[in-house]
Chain A
Amino acid sequence: MKHTISVLLLNKPGVLSRVTGLFSGRGFNIESLSVAQTLEAEVSCLTLVTSGEDSIIEQITKQLHKLIDVIKVTDMNEIEHVEREMVLIRVKAEAHTRAEVLRVIDIFRGKVVDVSPKSYAVEVTGSTSKVQAVIDILRPIGIQEIVRTGTIAMVRAKKY
Chain B
Amino acid sequence: MKMKGSQALIKCLKEQGVKVIFGFPGGVLLDIYDELFRHEDILHVLVRHEQAAVHAADAYARVTGDVGVALVTSGPGATNTVTGIASAYCDSIPIVILTGQVPTKLIGNDAFQEVDIVGITRPCTKHNYLVKNIEDLIPTIREAFHIARTGRPGPVLVDLPKDVVAAMLNYPDPKVVKMRTYRPTYEPHPGQIEKACQAILKAKKPVIYAGGGVIASNSNLELTELAKKLSIPVTMTLMGLGGFPGTDPLSLGMLGMHGTYFANMAVAECDLLIAIGSRFDDRVTGRIDAFASNAKIIHIDIDPSSISKNVHVEIPIVADCKHALTSINAWFDRASEFNRDAEVHKHIPWLAQIAEWRALHPLGYVYDENIIKPQFVVQKLHELTEGNAIISTEVGQNQMWAAQFYHFNLPRAFLTSGGLGVMGYGLPAAIGAQIAAPGRTVIDIAGDGSIQMNIQELATARQYKCPVKIAILNNGYLGMVRQWQELFYHKQYSHTVLDVGPDFVALARAYGAVGLRATKPSEVEPVIKEALATDNTVIMDFVIAREEGVYPMVPAGNSTTEMLLA
Contacts and interface: CB of A to CB of B under 8 A. Distances in A.
Nearest to B128: A14
B131 to A, nearest CB: 11
A58 interface: yes
Give the top 6 A-B pairs by smallest Cβ distance, nearest first: A62-B305, A68-B127, A71-B181, A25-B123, A62-B304, A68-B182
A18 interface: yes
Contacts of B123: 21, 25
Interface in B74-124: 118-119, 122-123
A55 B305 contact: no
Contacts of B122: 14, 17-18, 21
B126 interface: yes
A14 to B, nearest CB: 7
Contacts of B304: 62, 65-66
B180 A59 contact: no
Interface of B: 118-119, 122-123, 126-127, 130, 147, 179-182, 303-305, 308-309, 312
Contact of B119 (A17, A55, A68, A71): A17
A14 B159 CA distance: 14
Interface in A40-72: 55, 58-59, 62-63, 65-66, 68-71
A10 interface: yes
B309 A59 contact: yes
Interface of A: 9-10, 13-14, 17-18, 21, 25, 55, 58-59, 62-63, 65-66, 68-71
Nearest to A9: B181
B308 A10 contact: no
A65 B305 CA distance: 9
Contacts of B309: 59
A70 B312 CA distance: 26
Given A69-B181, A71-B180, A13 B305 contact: no
Contacts of A17: 119, 122
Given A63-B305, A66-B305, A13 B130 contact: yes
Contacts of A66: 303-305
Contact of A14 (B118, B126, B180, B305): B118
Given A10-B181, A21-B122, A66-B304, 12 more contacts: A10-B180, A13-B130, A21-B123, A25-B123, A55-B312, A63-B305, A65-B304, A65-B305, A68-B127, A68-B179, A68-B181, A71-B180
A58 B304 CA distance: 10
A81 to B, nearest CB: 23
Nearest to B304: A62
24 contacts: A10-B180, A10-B181, A13-B130, A14-B118, A14-B119, A14-B122, A14-B130, A17-B119, A21-B122, A21-B123, A25-B123, A59-B305, A63-B305, A65-B304, A65-B305, A66-B303, A66-B304, A68-B126, A68-B147, A68-B179, A68-B181, A68-B182, A70-B181, A71-B181
Q: Which of A14, A17, A18, A63 has the most CB of B within 10 A?
A: A14
A43 to B, nearest CB: 9
B12 to A, nearest CB: 19
Q: Which of A25, A62, A71 has the most CB of B within 10 A?
A: A62
B458 to A, nearest CB: 36
B302 to A, nearest CB: 11
Q: Which of A13, A55, A68, A69 has the most CB of B within 10 A?
A: A68
A55 B182 CA distance: 24
Nearest to A60: B305
Contacts of A58: 308
A62 B126 CA distance: 14
A66 B302 CA distance: 11
Nearest to B118: A14
Contacts of B118: 14
Nearest to B151: A66
Contact of A55 (B147, B179, B308): B308
Nearest to A43: B180
A42 to B, nearest CB: 9
Contacts of A59: 305, 309
Nearest to B124: A25
Contacts of A71: 180-181
A21 B122 CA distance: 8
A58 B316 CA distance: 14
A58 B190 CA distance: 23
Contacts of A9: 181
A13 B129 CA distance: 9
A13 B136 CA distance: 14
Contacts of A13: 130
Q: Which of B179, B181, B308, B312 has the most CB of A within 10 A?
A: B181
A25 B312 CA distance: 22
Nearest to B179: A68
B309 to A, nearest CB: 6
Nearest to A58: B308
A62 B316 CA distance: 14
B364 to A, nearest CB: 40
Nearest to A42: B180
